[in-house]
Chains A and B, each alone.
Chain A
Amino acid sequence: MNKRNFLRAAAVLAALGVVGMAEAQAQQTPIKIGSFLAVTGPASFLGDPEAKTLRLYVDTVNRAGGVNGRQLQAVIYDSAGDARQAVTFVRRLIEEDKVDIIVGGSTTGETMAVVPLAEEAQIPFISLGGANVIVEPVKKWVFKMPHSDRMAVEKIYEDMKKHGKTKAAILGGSGGFDQSCRKEAKDLAAKYGITVVADETYAPTDTDMTVQLTKIKNTPGVEAIVGCGFGAPTAITARNYRQLGMQNIQFYFNHGVGSQQFIDGAGGGAEGMRVPVAALLVADQLAANDPQKKVAEDYTRAYRAAYNNEPVSTFGGHMYDGFMIAIEAMKRAGGTDKAKVRDEIEKTKGFVGADGIYNMSPTDHMGLSLDSFKMVEIRNNTWKLLY
């Protein structure tokens, strides 16, 4: 090979190399997962573990080679649980960051505020909000992870019935999730032979619930309190409940309180309260043959190892499920085409997550059943599985 030919060959090789690199680069553009979470503010019990879980699993998946050969990138904004900010951030995620999917929305309120945006932009949106209204009626592009408030109320009413309690008081906030739960509690009461004798409301930023609790205390015949809420107000409620010495009335909270922060924040006030929650919180107490045991234990181990032994919460679990369902759908769709990914999310069948076993369908965009809900009681500042 003379010098000239050699140079020509080298030039061709170099050119090929450049093209090859460009191609590799194209494959390397990361898959963007957008999220808006209540990392600060009254709903930070929810958003904080959710953000940590998302970061943790994006890293884990990236270390294992990513999805479809592409790395993942999380874009997380702190909405502080405020619907107004959520709207701004979701617009930003869609238009500016051009994310491929949105997994987020710690609360029902912020979720409902951005549903029209996701529908309009035709982007798959997996919400971590609790209320039924998110998926009922079914919205084409919107899915949700946690059990619904209706299921929580059903589980609570079943437990009340079992213990012969028929007179309930409802106590909850004025936010979207609380309102939705309150409505379900009223609608379902007759079906379980329960009468609602009191109904009290607080604002999400209230710092004292003594007034509402005193009113319930003074209502004759209340046998149980159904608490509709999440975040800081629930811990305050529990503290006031103990201060007022109301332990003779059984307190049930819905699944909005599934974190150790609630128990700690209540300062002992949560003792004896019953809560329907996902199996994740009682992973170590599950039967060995429980299909969720492995998932729950693996998540707990990974989360605690990454974050200084911090206890897990059901909220982080919602994010785990949402994230996993999203990337499984992308794998099956063979890419990030939004319509295909949406279809694949809808086809999720038998996915074992931290919240339960998901079986989605065109008419069910949540996919959980009542039996994956566990009734737990708070004893000695931790969760005790009842059944």
Chain B
Amino acid sequence: MRRFLDARTGGLLVLTLIVALLPLLLPNKFYYDVAIKTLLNALVCVGLNLLIGYAGQISLGHAGFFALGGYASAILTAKYQWNGFAAMAVGMVGVGLLAFIVARPILKLRGHYLAMATLGLGIIISIVLNREIPLTGGPDGMSVPALRLGEWRLTGTTIWYWISGGTLLVAVWLALNLIDSGVGRALRALHGSEVAAETAGIDTTRYKVLIFVVSAVFASLAGSLFAHAERFITPTEAGFLRSIEFVTMVVLGGMASTYGAVVGATILTVLPQLLTKLHDYEHIAFGAVLIGVMIFMPKGLVPTLKDRFRHLAGGRPR
């Protein structure tokens, strides 16, 4: 059992099963919609977790990358009649470049300067999306044409559930492989001690920039998929609070745990929907859950539970 949990393929298999079987429990389109949002948030968090959990850097601008990807798809397909997949690719390349240009000089410095820079970047993106009304439709957003695969229009929540789910699984697989590769080991060394890593001959800047760009591209892809799935996008997606939300998802689920990122994204996406029944107390309940988790499980949900489970199973705690 322990070997099974540890194994890369085992976890991925469980996640695949969950994604494959979940539709049996989804009674209607509304739940599908929540599921799609969960999967896409998880996609962003899997990328962001690489940065926070492994490279030890915080980004407060990932909502900006998410929105840039979404608006790249929205604007290029709606206003310039581009093919949706081409627009998506252009968004990812553009966001990747932007992330590289911003991160390259900053990540040469030690410390949390990236958080400041991404905070600023996110706010700039948000302002531009709000103010460039002829292009973006301003604060009320714009509608997005359906994604087309040849003659086939990809619409409907069921199709988008499978697209989002498939993409997430591929992303998780990529992330797990990355972590287990030389890059991943270099990153963990870097997270442990930057000086030690450098002494061991690791080009820390290069790896930090690489992982930042990768996580930004994940966010951009999620944004593009979101825009086509929802068929509508507003600049709220780029807001500072959304960036905080992404970071919270990663921290709640458990830093340096890819599945933790997925769990964190799931909880923080689904919980507010469940809590609307409580109406006026929604925010209080939401805050209480977060505080509780942080007090009793400071490592985050998944790593803490995993440790406890191992402990119970008689293994030694990590």
Decide yes or no whether A82 CB sits under 8 A from chain B.
Answer: yes
| Cα A317 to Cα B230 with chains together (Å) | 32
Residues in B whose Cβ lies below 8 Å from that of A201: 133
Per-residue contact bits, chain A 82-119, to B (CB 8 Å; 1 contact, 0 not): 11100110011011100000000001111011001000
A175 contacts B139, CB within 8 Å?
yes
Q: Which residue of A lies closest to B282 (CB)?
A: A78
Decide yes or no whether A174 CB sits under 8 A from chain B.
Answer: yes
Segment touching A, from B96-104, B231-239, B307-315: B231-239
A87 contacts B140, CB within 8 Å?
no
Residues in A whose Cβ lies below 8 Å from that of B130: 174, 203
Number of interface residues of A (CB under 8 A): 25
Decide yes or no whether A176 CB sits under 8 A from chain B.
Answer: yes
Residues in A whose Cβ lies below 8 Å from that of B29: 91, 94-95
Q: Which residue of A lies closest to B29 (CB)?
A: A95
| Cα A82 to Cα B230 with chains together (Å) | 15
Q: Which residue of B lies closest to A90 (CB)?
A: B30
Decide yes or no whether B143 CB sits under 8 A from chain A.
Answer: yes
| Cα A110 to Cα B236 with chains together (Å) | 13
Decide yes or no whether B28 CB sits under 8 A from chain A.
Answer: yes
A203 contacts B140, CB within 8 Å?
no
A88-B33, A91-B29, A95-B30 known; A113 vs B236 contact (CB < 8 Å): no
A83 contacts B133, CB within 8 Å?
no
Decide yes or no whether A251 CB sits under 8 A from chain B.
Answer: no
Q: Which residue of the partner chain, among B28, B31, B140, B237, contacts A109 with CB atoms under 8 Å?
A: B140
A132 to chain B, nearest CB (A): 15
B250 to chain A, nearest CB (A): 22
| Cα A60 to Cα B102 with chains together (Å) | 60
A175 contacts B30, CB within 8 Å?
no
Decide yes or no whether A45 CB sits under 8 A from chain B.
Answer: no
B31 to chain A, nearest CB (A): 8
Per-residue contact bits, chain B 16-51, to A (CB 8 Å; 1 contact, 0 not): 000000000000111101000000000000000000
A87-B230, A113-B141 known; A96 vs B131 contact (CB < 8 Å): no
Residues in A whose Cβ lies below 8 Å from that of B28: 95-96
B28 to chain A, nearest CB (A): 4
| Cα A116 to Cα B140 with chains together (Å) | 15
Residues in B whose Cβ lies below 8 Å from that of A381: none
Per-residue contact bits, chain B 294-312, to A (CB 8 Å; 1 contact, 0 not): 0000000000000000000
Decide yes or no whether B11 CB sits under 8 A from chain A.
Answer: no
A113 contacts B234, CB within 8 Å?
yes
| Cα A91 to Cα B29 with chains together (Å) | 8
B234 contacts A83, CB within 8 Å?
yes
CB-CB contacts below 8 Å: B203-235 with A: 230-232, 234
Decide yes or no whether B276 CB sits under 8 A from chain A.
Answer: yes
Per-residue contact bits, chain B 109-131, to A (CB 8 Å; 1 contact, 0 not): 00000000000000000000011
Decide yes or no whether A373 CB sits under 8 A from chain B.
Answer: no
| Cα A107 to Cα B138 with chains together (Å) | 14
A109-B141, A175-B138, A176-B140 known; A82 vs B234 contact (CB < 8 Å): yes
B139 contacts A203, CB within 8 Å?
yes
Q: Give me the interface of A with B, judged by CB distance under 8 Å.
A: 77, 82-84, 87-88, 91-92, 94-96, 107-110, 112-113, 116, 174-176, 179, 201, 203-204
| 12 cross-chain CB contacts under 8 A | A83-B139, A83-B232, A91-B30, A94-B29, A95-B31, A116-B143, A116-B231, A116-B232, A174-B138, A175-B139, A175-B140, A179-B138
Q: Give me the interface of B with A, judged by CB distance under 8 Å.
A: 28-31, 33, 130-131, 133, 138-141, 143, 230-232, 234, 236-237, 276
